[in-house]
Structure formats: C-alpha cells, structure tokens
Structure 1
Amino acid sequence: MRVAAVAGPLALLLAACGGTSGSTGHASGPSGDPVSGGVLRAVLVSEPHNLDPAILQNNNRGQALLGNALYGTLLTNDPETGEVSGDMAEGFTTSDSGKTFVLTLRAGLKFSDGTPLDAAAVKYNWDRLKDPTLGSNSIQDASLIASTEVEDGTTLKVTLTRPTPRFGGNVILSSLDWIASPAVLKNGAQAFDADPVGAGPFALKDWTRGGALSLTRNPSYWNAPKPYLDGIDITFSSKADQRFNSLQAGGADVSMIEDWGVVAKARTAGLQVDVEPVGGGQYIALNQARAPFDDLAARQAVSAALDLDALNLAINQGNGEVADTFFPKSSPLYNDIKLHSYDKAKAQQMFDQLAAAGKPVSFTFTTFQGSEKIAEAVQAQLSRYKNVTVEVEVAEWADTGRILGKHDFDATVAAVTFQDPDPAVARAFLSTSPRNSVGIDDGRLDDALKAGSSTAAGDARKDVYTTAVQRLVELVPGIFYQREPLVAVAGTKVGGLDLYGTGSLLADGLWLSK
C-alpha cells in the first residue's frame, strides 16, 4: 500500500449511501441476485485527515462508507424502526436494564492480515476511544463505558457509568462500531495510514491525499460471498450540486445528498433516491458560551426574525421538509409543540431593546463547504432588520469537530437526527456532554434527557421527552429549520443500497449490474 501527497484541487465529486427499508425512491435498482465484480465509484463529502477509525465520523456527511468498508460493523440497525441487530457481533445484550452489556462476537473473525479480531481487540479499541488526547468525535459514547472485561475470546462484558438500556444505539452512531488491529494502531498514525488493518469487506489499495482513495476486495472477509465488488474508488467534493452532476453524467455511481433541492433534481433525473425517515433536524446552533448568544433575548430575537418557509425556498427551492415539531407524527413520542414562531415585529422590537441596552446583536455565522446557502440566506433575511449584523465565514467539513468541540463559533450549522432520540438528543444538549456544542446547561432539561435514556417505552417516556422539547423551545439553543436529508442517490445499475444509523452506508452488500 502507498499513501501519496498531492497538491491541487479536490478531484471529482460525490458522497456514497443508500438504503432499502423505508425507501421513497424515484427509480429502482437492478433486480435479481447480486452480481460479483466491478469497481464502484463513490464520492464523499469530506476527505479524512487519517484512517484511524476513532477519527472517522460515522454519519452521512462524514466517512461512514469508508469506515464500514475498512472495518466492517459490529452492529447495525433498521433505518425505519431503529431496532439494533448484530453483524460481526452475534449479540449485544443486557439483563439489568442497561447497567451492563455482554458483547458476543462471531467465532473465527480475523483482521485482513490474518490475526484474530477477538474480545481483547474490541476492548483495546473501546478503551482507547476514551482518551481525550485522541480527539475522537465518539468520546462521549465511549465515556459512558466505566469498564470492559474480556471473559473469553468472543465475549466482552461492558459496565456503563449509568444505566443506558439503548447503548447499542451509541455503538452504531459512533466509531465504537469499527474495530482496527491493536497491533497496527500501536505502530503510530503514519504507519497505520499506509496500511490500515481492519476486518471489513475491503482493504486500502492506494490513497493520494487531496485526490482519490482506492479500496480492494478483502478475500478473507467473514461474510462470504460478500463483498460482491472488486473494489471501491472514492473521491471527495463538498458541493452537492457537483456530486449530482457527476451522477447524472455517469461519472459516479452513488452519492449521499444533503440538499433537498438537489434531491428533487435527482428524482426528476430518474436516479435512485432513498430517504431515511428521521426525527429532529438541522438547526442553527447559537453558542451560549460567548456573546451575543449568552443572552437569551438575543437568541429569541434571531429566532423570531427568521422566516423558515423563506429559508426553505432559498436553500432548497421549496423542496425541503421544515422541522415544525421535534418528532414526526409517526413517532410514539410525537407531541404538537411548535419548534419555531416567526414574528417580524417582535424580532425588531427585541433587537431595538438590546441595542438600547448597549448590546446590539452582531455575530459571525460559521458555515461549512457545501452549506453556504443557509448562512447566506440567514444573512440576507437579517439584513432587513436594524441593530443586527451578520458576517459569514466558510470552514472545511473536516474542521467541524474542532469548531463544535471547542465552541469556536457564534452561530453555525448543526444537526440532531435520530430514529430514537436516545442517545442523539442527550449528545447534543445534555450539559455534561462533550458534544454539547452550544453550551446549554439546564437542570430541568438534563433531568428529562437522563430520564428519557433510562425509561422504558410508553407514556412515561413520552412525557419526559415532551418536557425536554418544551425546554428546548424556551431556551433556544438553536433554530431548527429542516429535517436533515439523509438521502442516498445512485445510478440504476447500483444494487444493495443499505443504510443504518444516521446515513451510514454498508459496503459489503453493494453490487453493480453488468
């Protein structure tokens, strides 16, 4: 294997993903049994800094396809129901309401170098994720683990810091799902990037930084006859329109599209379109750790000033789904609390009052490559008000972890997306969460989120999440403006699209018709 560095612009386009359950596609993929052979061309939103599974992000805008390809998955879930099931793990069970879990691996699992993937390897990876110096985006999930104990070669006992009955959800939403060879990780980042060793369906063939990354079939993959593909070639582009254009022109096979307007174009073009049903949504995160949004009145004023239907028109040509409520009507946790109210007169009055108190609202909206439209649309709407000014700053997607983790923003784009709200909502808004990027700290909200995590399904759980939603509306840590588009788009020759988690595409079942 070799890893080369190259200067110059990013190569062509596209983010990979897809799913079969709950599909709302415009066109269908190939019928019949999977066909072996061929190299799939995928384009991801952002190139990874390195190939350490702890650093890769297991979501639609991260490097989910790459992580699943190199390392496989311990667990997956049904994208419609959220039910967790085993993959490389036969089971992940609790008999004490989530105080402890037992992870049972399939017998005979091996890394691509022939060494065993056993319970000790999982222990090493999971314990390592808790190291704050590593900088993993999954540290919060790993930090719920108090201890791990190897019982035998295929069995790991996991004790949590607090009862978390749905901890399997934390695994599939994070890097806990990906296990790399401890021996190779210990060789250091540079050596690992040159030859990352996992137990996934593919292995690294070549990586030209700033260009393309090629994967080749792992012949010793545990779940034969998978993988069906000979390889996957991955390039990177932050622009959804460019990724769609590449698909439409036949220059790529599969993409994850995060723009509802582009999704509409894909449907019109007759491509496969697969939408994962989720609650929550994308929101404009308002940083309470510094001015101006350490003042509730400033947060309320900006929220009241924004017309979400106009935002939808500006960023999605009106094709997006505005997040009116926190839970979709299909959810057993649904309540009719409105997340947002547009009131132009109230907003101007509040801006004037803040200015009179010597606190005119002035802030920078930090957005990311490919998501400039939302920041520009907010800037345009607020320009019609007095006593509020907005600057726009564009950062790379690879910097999201640093910017959000260090609270290095005034306002930015963020998302809390889920089939089940636990653990996603607590990750985003629990006061002690490392992923609480907005700096919210509210005892009533904390109590509700903790209760939601530990309470069994039923009316009691619905009640505590209703309390949580009410506090979010009152405190305005962010302005929810749309459901997050977890949308896979692919050509009609691509088969085996299968999503889990939050837009994480499984690699082993993908195939291409001849």
Structure 2
Amino acid sequence: MAGGSAALTYNSEPRTLDPAALSNTWAHQAVLGNALYGTLIVNNVDTLAIEYKMATDFSTTDGGRTFMLKLRPGLQFTDGTALDAAAVKFNWDRLRDPALASTSLRQAAQVASNDVVDATTLRVTMTSPSPHFPQNLLAGAMNWIASPTALQKGQAAFDAEPVGAGPFTLTKWMRQDVIELSKNTGYWDAPRPYLDSITLRAASDNAQRLNAVTTGAVDVAAETSWANLAKAEEAGFPTQTVPLGGGQFIGMNFRRAPFDDPRARRAVILAIDPESVNVAVYNGKGQVPATLFQKNSPYFTDIALPSPDKVEAQKLFDELAAEGKPVSFAFTTYPTPEAKATAESVQAQLSAFENVEAKIDVVDFAAATARTAAHDFDMTITSALIQDPDSGLWNAFHSTSRGNTIGVDDRELTAALDAGRVAEDPAARKEAYETVQNRLVALNPGIWYVRSSPSVITGKNVHGAQMYGLGSPLPEELWFQN
C-alpha cells in the first residue's frame, strides 16, 4: 500500500550530508545516501549481476581499461539542474581528491580520468585494467551523484539543503537527533517511492535498536549484531542478510612496532580464540570464519584460517621479550558496544599470557576514522567483505590500495590480487584467489573473528526491504501492508 511514514534506524550519525562523507555500507549511512541521491547501479546480492537504475549501462569492451557509463536521458536534480554526464564527472573527480578524505577514495582512485562524450555518456579510463570495477563502484559514494551547483555553495549551505535526484528530499535535520525526509514527487522511477516520508535516527546501541523494532517505535533497523538478528527472528520479526565472505578482522598495523615484526602478529593471532570473542560480543550467535570464502562461493578452497595455539603463542611472546621487544600495544576502537566488547575480549584473553600488554583506546567515530586513515594505530577493527572478490580483497590488501589501512606490502599477494582483478576466465580467477588465501594465512594480517552481518530487521507489516552491495537498503522500495 502506498503512503505513510516509516521510522528507520542506522548506526552512525553523519557529520555532513555531502555524499563524499557518507559510507555506503549497512553499518553507516547507506540508507540516507540512497534516499537523498538515488543510485546509478545496484547488484543482485545472490548472483552479483549488475542491475541498472539511473544508469542504463556501465560496461567495458577492452578488458576493463575503459568503461562507458550511459545515463537515462532527462534526469534532474531537485534544484532543476541536469543529472548528466558532466554532473557525474564533477562528483567522481571530486572523490578522487585526497584532500576531501572520502572513504570512497579507495574506489575513486582507481579511475585515471573521466571524459564527457555527450549529455548521457561518460568515458571512464582506469589507472589499470579492472573488468570487475562496477562491483567496486556500488560499494561507495561513486554510486551517489549530488548537484554540482549545490555542492559548490559550500558545506554549510549544502547541509541545509542537500540536492540530489533520489527518492526523498530533506525536510529537517536536527543533529544528534533526527533526519526527516519527504517523498520526491519528481523522482524518475514513479510510482516509487511508495512512502510519503521517512525519519532516520542513529542508534549504535544493540539493545536500543532491537527494542525499537520489537516495540513498533521503528519500522526498519539496519542491523550489525548477529545476536539481535537471532532475537528478532525468535520474536517473529522478518530479517534479511546479504551473504558475504571474509568478514571483520582485528587488524594489526604492519607499519610500526610491535606488529611490524611478523612474530608479534602471529603470537597475538595464536593467543586469541575467536569463539571466545563470539561468546563475549554476540552471545555465541555470530558466524566465525573458518575459511576466507564461504563454501557456496566459486572461489572457495579449504584453506583454514589460523586457529589458537596458546603454547606456541607464549613461546613467541617470550622470544620477542628476550630480544628486548615485549609486545605492548593499544587497541583503538569505535565507541559502539560491540567494538568495545571485542577489544575487551582481546585484552582479557591476552592477560593470561606473559610478556604481552594490551591497552584499549576508545575514540569517537570521526577520530577513529581519521586515525585509521592516517595509519595512527597499533590494532583496530577493520574488514574485508567479499562479494566479488576483487572489490573486498584488492581494496583491503593490495600494496597500492588506499583501503589497505594496515599496510600489508607483499609482492606475491599483490601479484595474485592483480591477476584476479584482470582475469575474466573463472578458472584463472579461482587460481589467483587460492594464492591470495594462502598468502593471507602466511602473513597474519589480523584475527578473523566474525562474518559481517549486512542485515535489516523490519516490522511485521513492512514489505519491500531490498539491499544491494554491502547491505545498502533501498528506501524507495519500502511499503506498508495493514
């Protein structure tokens, strides 16, 4: 049924409504970005097939050296200006500027140049061949195009009146409280959106999110907790989860002591039992990765991730201490209950060993993001989320990637990631990613402690919940059934 207003929660309050500052994942501001700016493309999260929205084509004929982006004709921003190839070029060129410090730089930096062919066509030249790049694009802010006219007025003006071509427009933003959005009556894909309005509130506390849905205070919650998903399902509330390989891992900074020494990384990995972290953080309901890829993946190989070995861990701690290098570090963590519980579990487990000391440094989202980007940490929670393996693995572990925050620099791993990126033959890609799996096990970049849960929980009368990419919900598809 069309009409009505829905209340939604997501995890992280935005600091600005500039799409370059929004993160297109379920755990951050994906639903807000999709609401204000719409999407160029999406994918089917089961088959990974690309599906088109405001774009009608984004394909390559030369092995990923160049792409041609085609737009629907007549697209307009809510300020009446054209969402054309020049507008896309403006947004994408802007994202490539390191001074902007967008989390989507990791995707945008893979583009060498954009050239307007005509009003609906943009020629995209890559820095190196990348035939699977569309899967990268939809995982970041490259999928959201804002009005260049509005962006050029500056952040304060844009935050007061953000201009996109999405299914909703801003009515009110009360910082640290609520964002109210109204239906864009000029949205290109009528009769969508089906709702008249939506309200968005950030809720980082697990119990608060779950309680809001189960009591009817919220209609849709973007969910990060396996424990919450289990409780919601037990209570009869619908859930959806995007299937992903990889997951979240406790990353160690290769660039500085103590983890520039591979023995320190291996000692910590062997000392920590991920199942104990699962119990402490998710009440045992999380999915702990045993292998990098899930068994249903065409790239699955039964290469086991490291398992605990407390005796060997203590030997390594003692060996480092005897050389005058006892392992001492700080775990920099976000302020969410899950993140803090993860750090506390690591600290508690390591307290049973000698010659190792772990401190916890809890910082806010903005500070944590800035410190991670500046590589100013010893240990932190990060991720490599795998749909098509190129996007998640290349971004997280390639030696030249902007997303390689932990500083892995391994020639064999980089070569395998490049081979997997350019290969179009499935057998060749599987061979490349088998090498990737072996190298990651050998390098010990971190503790793989949980599969990510890109999910939504919905009220019992809510329908149309759809996600793409890394659990990015599409608010224009939501509707109520009384």
Any idea what SS the aligned residue of 2:476 has? coil
Q: In the alignment, what sits opposite 1:136?
A: 102
Residue 195 of structure 1 aligns to which amino acid in structure 2? E
Instruction: Report Cα offsets for 1:374-431 as digits up to 9, x if no partner.
Output: 1111111111111111111222234443122111211111111121111211111111
Determine which of 437, 445, 462 is the counterpart of 1:494. Answer: 462
Q: In the alignment, what sits opposite 2:479?
A: 511
Distance in structure 2 (CA, Å) of the matches to 1:423 and 1:260: 24
Q: In the alignment, what sits opposite 1:402?
A: 370
Cα offset, 1:501, TM superposition: 0.5
Determine which of 233, 237, 252 is the counterpart of 2:218. Answer: 252
Any idea what SS the aligned residue of 1:489 has? strand
Distance in structure 2 (CA, Å) of the matches to 1:351 and 1:357: 10
Cα offset, 1:320, TM superposition: 1.1
- Alpha carbons 1:404, 1:435 under 8 Å: kept: no
Determine which of 458, 481, 484 is the counterpart of 2:426. Answer: 458
What is the RMSD of the two structures over their aligned residues, measured on CA atoms?
1.0
Residue 247 of structure 1 aligns to which amino acid in structure 2? V
Distance in structure 1 (CA, Å) of the matches to 2:430 and 2:227: 33
Q: After TM superposition, list the pairs within 5 Å mapping 1:290-309 onto structure 2.
A: 290-309=256-275
Instruction: List alignment gaps of at least 5 residues for structure 2.
Output: none
Q: Does 1:368 align with 2:334?
A: yes
- Alpha carbons 1:228, 1:510 under 8 Å: kept: yes
Q: In the alignment, what sits opposite 1:125?
A: 91
Overall identity of the aligned pairs, in %: 47
- Alpha carbons 2:384, 2:392 under 8 Å: kept: yes
Q: In the alignment, what sits opposite 2:414?
A: 446
- Alpha carbons 1:305, 1:343 under 8 Å: kept: yes
Any idea what SS the aligned residue of 1:150 has? strand
Cα offset, 1:207, TM superposition: 0.4
Q: In the alignment, what sits opposite 1:16?
A: none
Q: Which moved more, 1:489-498 or 1:305-314?
A: 305-314
Q: In the alignment, what sits opposite 2:65?
A: 99
Cα offset, 1:157, TM superposition: 0.9
Distance in structure 1 (CA, Å) of the matches to 2:235 and 2:323: 54
Residue 258 of structure 2 aligns to which amino acid in structure 1? P
Q: After TM superposition, list the pairs within 5 Å mapping 1:21-420 onto structure 2.
A: 35-370=1-336, 371-420=339-388
Cα offset, 1:513, TM superposition: 2.3
Residue 507 of structure 1 aligns to which amino acid in structure 2? P
Distance in structure 2 (CA, Å) of the matches to 1:458 and 1:79: 19
Instruction: Report Cα offsets for 1:67-120 as digits up to 9, x if no partner.
Output: 000000000001112111211001111111111111110111111122211111
- Alpha carbons 2:113, 2:126 under 8 Å: kept: yes
Distance in structure 1 (CA, Å) of the matches to 2:233 and 2:178: 28
Cα offset, 1:334, TM superposition: 0.5
Any idea what SS the aligned residue of 1:508 has? helix
Distance in structure 1 (CA, Å) of the matches to 2:210 and 2:119: 46
Aligned residues: 480
Cα offset, 1:240, TM superposition: 1.7
Distance in structure 2 (CA, Å) of the matches to 1:167 and 1:432: 16
Instruction: Report Cα offsets for 1:469-492 as digits up to 9, x if no partner.
Output: 111111111111111111211111
Any idea what SS the aligned residue of 2:475 has? coil
Any idea what SS the aligned residue of 2:330 has? strand
Residue 131 of structure 2 aligns to which amino acid in structure 1? P
Any idea what SS the aligned residue of 1:256 has? strand
- Alpha carbons 2:332, 2:368 under 8 Å: kept: no
Distance in structure 2 (CA, Å) of the matches to 1:281 and 1:369: 20
Cα offset, 1:512, TM superposition: 2.0
TM-score by length of 2: 0.98
Which one has the bigger helix percentage? 2
TM-score by length of 1: 0.92
Cα offset, 1:444, TM superposition: 0.6
Cα offset, 1:331, TM superposition: 0.7
Distance in structure 1 (CA, Å) of the matches to 2:392 and 2:4: 37
Distance in structure 1 (CA, Å) of the matches to 2:261 and 2:450: 24
Distance in structure 2 (CA, Å) of the matches to 1:403 and 1:237: 23
Residue 73 of structure 1 aligns to which amino acid in structure 2? T
Distance in structure 2 (CA, Å) of the matches to 1:178 and 1:400: 24
Instruction: Report Cα offsets for 1:193-221 as digits up to 9, x if no partner.
Output: 01010000001100011111111110000
Larger RCO (alpha carbons 8 Å, 6+ apart):
1
Residue 82 of structure 2 aligns to which amino acid in structure 1? P
Distance in structure 1 (CA, Å) of the matches to 2:200 and 2:471: 17
C-alpha distance 242-252 of structure 1, shift in aligned 2 (>3 A): same
Any idea what SS the aligned residue of 1:423 has? helix
Distance in structure 1 (CA, Å) of the matches to 2:184 and 2:451: 37
Cα offset, 1:460, TM superposition: 1.5
Distance in structure 1 (CA, Å) of the matches to 2:342 and 2:417: 29
Q: In the alignment, what sits opposite 1:428?
A: 396
Instruction: List alignment gaps of at least 5 residues for structure 1.
Output: 1-34
Residue 129 of structure 2 aligns to which amino acid in structure 1? P
Distance in structure 2 (CA, Å) of the matches to 1:414 and 1:241: 23
Any idea what SS the aligned residue of 1:47 has? coil
Any idea what SS the aligned residue of 2:416 has? helix
Distance in structure 1 (CA, Å) of the matches to 2:308 and 2:152: 54
Q: Which moved more, 1:48-57 or 1:141-150?
A: 141-150
Distance in structure 1 (CA, Å) of the matches to 2:372 and 2:220: 29
Distance in structure 1 (CA, Å) of the matches to 2:126 and 2:232: 44
- Alpha carbons 1:80, 1:419 under 8 Å: kept: no
Any idea what SS the aligned residue of 2:222 has? strand
Q: Does 1:468 align with 2:468?
A: no
- Alpha carbons 1:166, 1:422 under 8 Å: kept: yes
